[in-house]
Amino acid sequence: MASTIGMVLLMMIMVSLTSLASALSVNYYEHTCPQVESIVAGAVHKATMNDKTVPSALLRMHFHDCFVRGCDGSVLLKTKGKNKAEKDGPPNISLHAFYVIDNAKKALEAVCPGVVSCADILALAARDAVTLSGGPNWEVPKGRKDGIISKATETRQLPAPTFNISQLQQSFSQRGLSLQDLVALSGGHTLGFAHCSSFQNRIHKFSPKQAVDPSLNPSFASNLQSKCHIKNKVKNSGSPLDSTATYFDNAYYKLLLQGKSILSSDQALLTHPTTKALVSKYAHSQMEFERAFVKSMIKMSSITNGGKQIRLQCNLVR
């Protein structure tokens, strides 16, 4: 307990220090690499043409990057020797499309060698992923440095899909993010897919008395059960996170209000008056959702813990 409080205090100090230290700016590469935006957007666009799961993968990758050691590209590093990297940490399920970042980096090295950080490439790619999916566009502050450490064990710092509202609130506030940020950023679940293992807690053995989470719409729950039947368990089975999983819209919030959310952590947003009110607000207004999402994305993607270098290859430290 004492060590938990110590950790929380330490994290709070780190967050306040880094918000002083980080001087990100939207025109950071104006003179050193003016092509950066178009090159990253091109790489994301090209990959998405071939694989519709690329945008959701990039958005989630950026979230994982920022929640472990700040947005420093640590999620991109590969395991080297005995040091297992974040990539190979426990909740890496569905992390993919690393090649998109690597391709963008290669193209950038050809025109402005040693200039653009991998952390910035990922932040840009996440924005491009949202815009390409029909979501909002915004200017991404840049100037992150790449970290040199990536540890699989640290992925335990990521929020789990079984977290309740107080655990989610704690996880976000440790990183300087509010309940409003939590609700707006959970809207990232308008894109992509969850494997059965991520929501199995809701559809069988939910509690000693109930097999199924009673907050789920019953027919929706049986549909999830049939997709994840233990006996005919198909590898990689699961469910889209919302009904329009390649389109960035506010359907996620509408479905949540109908008992049709996928993760317990989504459902948890309805268990606190502040977050519940925000869910309703975003369900009723795509515009309010987009405005809040952009604001919170900029906040999340500005968590920097003082990276050290500009990598030459995104999966390797220099």
- Give contact residues for ligand HEM (rule: CB under 6 A): 53, 56-57, 59-60, 63, 93-94, 159-161, 163, 168, 185-186, 188-189, 191-195, 198, 241, 263, 265
Least distance between ligand NAG and beta carbon 255 (Å): 23
Q: Is 88 in the site for ligand NAG (CB under 6 A)?
A: yes
Answer for which of 18, 35, 53, 92 binds ligand NAG (CB under 6 A) is: 92
Distance between alpha carbon 250 and the CA centroid of its chain, in Å? 17
Answer for which of 25, 164, 237, 258 binds ligand NAG (CB under 6 A) is: 164
Least distance between ligand NAG and beta carbon 180 (Å): 18
Answer for which of 12, 37, 45, 96 binds ligand NAG (CB under 6 A) is: 96
Alpha-carbon distances of 162 from 36, 116, 262, rounded to whole Å: 38, 37, 11
Q: Which two tokens stand for residue 131?
A: 């815009």
Between 28 and 199, whose beta carbon lies closer to ligand HEM?
199
Main-chain dihedrals φ then ψ at residue 80, nearest 5 degrees: -130, 120
Please give the helix or strand (H or E) that residue 195 lies within, else none: strand 193-195
Q: Which does 92 bind (CB under 5 to 8 A by kind): ligand NAG, ligand HEM, none?
A: ligand NAG
Show the site string, 119-138: x = touches ligand NAG by CB under 6 A, - = not: --------------------
Q: Radius of gyration (Cα) for the chain, nearest Å?
A: 19
- Given 45, 62, 64, 284, which residue is catalytic? 64
Is 128 labelled a binding residue? no
Answer for which of 14, 24, 95, 112 binds ligand NAG (CB under 6 A) is: 95
* DSSP label of 238: E
Q: Please tell me the count of residues contacting ligand NAG according to CB under 6 A.
A: 9
Distance CA 103, CA 186 (A): 28
Is 70 labelled a binding residue? yes
Distance CA 212, CA 44 (A): 39
Pick the closest to residue 263 from 89, 59, 91, 135 (CA basis). Answer: 91
Pick the closest to residue 181 from 296, 317, 15 (CA basis). Answer: 296
Distance between alpha carbon 274 and the CA centroid of its chain, in Å? 22
64 has catalytic annotation:
yes
Distance CA 26, CA 140 (A): 6
76 with 101: CB under 8 angstroms? yes
Least distance between ligand HEM and beta carbon 317 (Å): 25
Least distance between ligand NAG and beta carbon 165 (Å): 6
* DSSP label of 93: T
Distance CA 178, CA 172 (A): 6
Residue numbering of the annotated binding site: 65, 68, 70, 72, 74, 86, 159, 189-190, 242, 249
Residue numbering of the annotated binding site for substrate: 159
Binding site for ligand NAG (CB under 6 A): 87-88, 92, 95-96, 164-167
Residue numbering of the annotated binding site for Ca(2+): 65, 68, 70, 72, 74, 86, 190, 242, 249
- The catalytic residue positions are 64
